[in-house]
Structure 1
Amino acid sequence: MKRFIFIIVGVLFIASTAFADVIKIGALVSITGPTSFLGQPEKNTLEMIVNDINKKGGVNGTKIKLIIYDTKGQPATTVMMARKLIYSDRVKAIIGPTRSGSTLAIIPLIQRARIPLISMASSYKITTPTKKWVFKTAPSDSLAVERLYSYFSDHNIHRIAILTAQTGFGESGREELKKLASKYNIKILADETFNATDTNMTSQLIKIKNIKGVEAIVCWGTNPGPASVAKNVKQLGIKIPLFMSHGVASKRFIQLAGDTAEGIKLPAGKLLVAEQLPKNDPQRAVLLAYKKDYQSKFGPVSTFGGHAYDAIHMIIIALKNEAKTPSQIRDQLEHIKNFVGITGIFTYSKDNHAGLDPSDFCIVEIKNGNWKLIAY
C-alpha cells in the first residue's frame, strides 16, 4: 500500500513539474472562412516560431504551449473561443484575432479577464483610446492613410474618390480617409461603399467615372471585394489611377485580380519588397531571414504572417524578462522599445499600444505580377 501511494505521489509530482515547465499562449486566427488568406500565414508563422523556440529548450528553460483556435473570421465565434482560452485553457496571453471586427468584439472580455491581448488587426479603434490590456501589431489604418496621402501630396494628387468595404476594416479606413483629408489638402469628390460579399461594384464605379476631376480612386478593404473592384475598373475602361489599402498586401490579391492588378499602388509593409530595400535599413536582415524561413516551409510570404511574427516575438521578450503572470507580461509589453520586427520598429508605452508610425510603410506598385518599391 505504501509503495502504491509512493508511486501515485511520484506520478503527480512528475505531472505537476511537466505542467510547470509549460507556459500557455493562445491565438485566435481566421484559418478558414473568407479571410483565411490572412489567418493561414499567421497560423503558419506562430507554429514555426514556437516550434523553433521549443526545440532550443524554450524560454528560460520553459517551453511554450501554443493553443490556436479558428475564429472563421466571425465575431461571435471569436468571443466563444476567447472565453475558452481564458477560462478553460488558462492561457497567459492571447495573440489575435485576425480581423478588426472580431478584435473589437472581444475587447470588453479581455479587459474584464485582465489577459494581455496582441491583436493582429488594423483598426485604430483597437488601441485608440489606449486600453490597458490590449496591444496590436498590425499598423493602424490611420498610418496607412497618412503614408498614402503623403504620396498623393508628393505627386500633386488632391481630388480623389473613395470606395470602402462595409466591414470593421473598411469602415475604420473610411473614417481615417475622411478625417485626414484636409491635413493633406485633399478633397474627396465621391464616397462610395460596398458590402463584404459584393462581387460587382460597377454601379459605384460608374458614379465615380462620371465625376469630373477625380485624380485617384482609393479602395479600402480586404479580399475578395478589392479584386472585384480592380476587375470592374478595367471592364469599365476607367483610366483613373487605382490605389488599394494595405489590406490587400498579399499575393492572394494578385491571384484574385489577375491582370487587372497590374499598375495598382498601395501602402504596405516592407516585407513585400525586402530585397529592394537599402542595405542599411534596420529591418532588412530581419525581413530577409523571416522570408527565407517561411518560404522554405510554406511558400510565398505574406505581410499578415509578419503580424504574428511580431506578436509572438514580443511575448517572448516579455518571458525572457522573467514575466510569468498575465499582469507581468502586460507590464513588460508596455516597456518594449525599438523592437525591430516585420511590420516595423515597435515602441510601446503607457499611452501607445500600437507602437508604429507612418515611416513603417512604403508605397509599392504591382508590376508583372509582383511587388515593386516605388516610394521608401
Structure 2
Amino acid sequence: MRLPVKLLATAAAMALSVSLAPAQQAPIKIGAVLSATGGASFLGDPEKRTLEMFVADINAKGGINGRKVEAIIYDDASNPNNARTFATRLIEQDKVDALLAGSTTASAMAMIPLAEEAEIPMINFAGAVQAAFPAKKWNFKTPHTDLMACEKIFEDMKKRGFSKIAMISGADAFGKSMRDQCLTVNKKYGIEILHEETYQPADNDMTAQLTNIKNKAGVQAVINPGFGQGPAIVTRNYKQLSVPFPLYQSHGVGTKQFIELATPAAAEGVRLPAAALLVADKLPDGDPQKKVVMAYKTAYEAKTGQPVSTFGGHMYDGLMILVEAMKRAGGPDKAKVRDEIEKTKGFIGTGGVVNMSPTDHMGLDLTAFRMLEIKNGDWTLVN
C-alpha cells in the first residue's frame, strides 16, 4: 500500500528529528588530567573528588543551558609525561570541549603547549607563576602564584621585624620556581637572604641542611618553598633540632594532611599564606568569601568525610568559572568560551575574588591570600 505524500513527509521529518536528537543533546565534554595518585595525590585527589561532585550537581540541576556535562578524567600518577599523553588523548580522541588539568607545575607546563596548539580552553591548578604569566591565549589558572606567596610572607616578616633569613627549597619544579621568585622581590621588602639549602623530592631527612641553617649567624626566620612530603619532613626535623627561628611554609601545604604528616607538635607556630577556605568558619560574617567557602566546605566534607584543602577549592573555582563562561557563550564553542573566561569579573571563589583580563589569566591580587598560623593542630588567622 502506498502511503500519502503528506504522511511520508511527516514520517521523514520525524525520523530526521529522531536522528538529530542525540547530536543536539550530546553532552558537553570536560577533560581533566589530575594527579589522583602518586606523590602529588594530596593535590589531585581532592581536585578529582570536587570535579565529580559538582559535575553531578550541575547535571542534577539541568546541566549547562540544558545540556548534560560529561567529565572525562585521567590520572597522571604525578608524572608530567603521563599528563602530556593523557592531554593529547583528551584533545585528539575524546574531543573534549575544555580542559581542567595540571595538579602540579610540571604537569601543567607539559600540557599548556598542547592546549595552545589545539586552541582549546584550559584552566590549570599549578602553583608557579609561569603557569599563567606571561598570559597565553588559551591557558588560565586558579591558584595563587608562588610570587604572591613570597610577597605575602615577606610582608609578614617585615611586620615582625625580620630582615635576615635563610631558605631551604625543594628541587621540584614548584620549589625551584618559588625560590627564584622570592629572589626577585626580597629586596623590595628589605629582606636579606643569608643562606640557602635544597633537598630532593625523595629525600626523607633534612637534618644536615637544617643544621647548617641553625648554625648560620644572623638568621632570624626561615622559608621553605616546596610541596609534597618534603615540607612535612622539614617541619619535623626543624622541631627535632630545636631550630630557634620562625618557620614559614608555602601555599603548597594548604591541607590538613600536611599537619598530620608533620605532626601537630612540630607544626605548631608554622606560618603560611593560604586561601580563605582553610579558615572558612573563622572568617567574619561580613567577609565576601564566607558564604562561598562555607558552602563548599560543608558539601565537600559531607560527601567525602575528609577535611577540605585549598587544592579541591582550586578545582571548584576552575569548574565554576568554566561553567559560567559556557553559559554566557551559549554553549561549548571553544573560541567563545575562551573569550568569556577572559572576561570573568567579580567571581567570588574559594581562592579569592577573580578579575581576569587579556594580560592576567588568573585574576587574583595579594588580598586573596590570608596569612595563617598553625595552632593546636589547626589553622588560625594572623591579624
Normalised TM-score (structure 1):
0.95
- In 2 relative to 1, CA 61–178 (structure 1 residues): closer, same or farther, beyond 3 Å? same
Alignment of 1:89-104 (within 5 A): 89-104=94-109
Aligned to 1:45: 50
Aligned to 1:172: 177
- In 2 relative to 1, CA 319–235 (structure 1 residues): closer, same or farther, beyond 3 Å? same
- Report how far residue 141 of structure 1 moved: 0.8
- In 2 relative to 1, CA 42–12 (structure 1 residues): closer, same or farther, beyond 3 Å? farther
**AA matched with 1:96:** A
Task: For residues 142-190 of structure 1, give each alpha carbon's deviation from its aligned partner in whole angstroms, at most 9, with x where no partner exists.
Answer: 1111111111111111111011111111111001111110000000011
**AA matched with 1:359:** T
Aligned to 2:67: 62
**AA matched with 2:24:** A
Q: Work out which of the residue numbers 244, 253, 257 in structure 1 matches 2:258.
A: 253
RMSD: 1.9
User: What is the total number of aligned residue pairs between the two structures?
Assistant: 372
Q: Work out which of the residue numbers 319, 338, 363 in structure 2 matches 1:355.
A: 363
Q: Is the partner of 1:43 in helix, strand or coil? A: helix
Tell me the distance in 2 between the aligned counterparts of 1:248 and 1:59: 34
Aligned to 2:315: 308
Tell me the distance in 2 between the aligned counterparts of 1:185 and 1:151: 12
Aligned to 1:181: 186
- In 2 relative to 1, CA 11–266 (structure 1 residues): closer, same or farther, beyond 3 Å? farther
Tell me the distance in 1 between the aligned counterparts of 2:331 and 2:380: 41
Q: Is the partner of 1:135 in helix, strand or coil? A: strand
Higher deviation after alignment, 277-286 or 76-85: 277-286
- Note if 1:368 corresponds to 2:376: yes
- Note if 1:140 corresponds to 2:106: no
Q: Is the partner of 2:382 in helix, strand or coil? A: strand
Pair member with larger Rg? 2
Aligned to 1:283: 289
Higher deviation after alignment, 121-130 or 302-311: 121-130
Tell me the distance in 2 between the aligned counterparts of 1:11 and 1:268: 56
Aligned to 2:246: 241
Aligned to 2:5: none
Aligned to 1:152: 157
Tell me the distance in 1 between the aligned counterparts of 2:30 and 2:195: 45
Tell me the distance in 1 between the aligned counterparts of 2:53 and 2:15: 32
**AA matched with 1:278:** P
**AA matched with 1:154:** K
- Report how far residue 12 of structure 1 moved: 8.8
- Report how far residue 235 of structure 1 moved: 1.6
Asked if 1 retains the 8 angstrom alpha-carbon contact of 2:347 and 2:353, the reply is yes
Asked if 2 retains the 8 angstrom alpha-carbon contact of 1:120 and 1:137, the reply is yes
**AA matched with 2:363:** G
- In 2 relative to 1, CA 49–11 (structure 1 residues): closer, same or farther, beyond 3 Å? farther
**AA matched with 1:200:** D
Asked if 1 retains the 8 angstrom alpha-carbon contact of 2:65 and 2:331, the reply is no
- In 2 relative to 1, CA 281–237 (structure 1 residues): closer, same or farther, beyond 3 Å? same
Task: For residues 244-269 of structure 1, give each alpha carbon's deviation from its aligned partner in whole angstroms, at most 9, with x where no partner exists.
Answer: 00100101101101121111111111
Tell me the distance in 1 between the aligned counterparts of 2:77 and 2:356: 29
Unaligned runs of 5+ residues in structure 2 are 3-9
- Note if 1:344 corresponds to 2:344: no
Asked if 1 retains the 8 angstrom alpha-carbon contact of 2:80 and 2:106, the reply is yes
**AA matched with 1:263:** G
Aligned to 2:22: 18
Asked if 2 retains the 8 angstrom alpha-carbon contact of 1:323 and 1:332, the reply is no
Aligned to 2:87: 82
- Report how far residue 112 of structure 1 moved: 0.7
Alignment of 1:315-330 (within 5 A): 315-321=322-328, 322-330=330-338
Q: Is the partner of 1:288 in helix, strand or coil? A: helix
Tell me the distance in 1 between the aligned counterparts of 2:124 and 2:24: 27
Alignment of 1:203-222 (within 5 A): 203-222=208-227
- In 2 relative to 1, CA 109–237 (structure 1 residues): closer, same or farther, beyond 3 Å? same
Aligned to 2:37: 32
Asked if 2 retains the 8 angstrom alpha-carbon contact of 1:147 and 1:359, the reply is no
- In 2 relative to 1, CA 199–57 (structure 1 residues): closer, same or farther, beyond 3 Å? same
Task: For residues 20-77 of structure 1, give each alpha carbon's deviation from its aligned partner in whole angstroms, at most 9, with x where no partner exists.
Answer: 3211011111011011111111011111111001011111111111111101111100
Q: Is the partner of 2:166 in helix, strand or coil? A: strand
Identity %, equivalent residues: 43
**AA matched with 1:255:** E
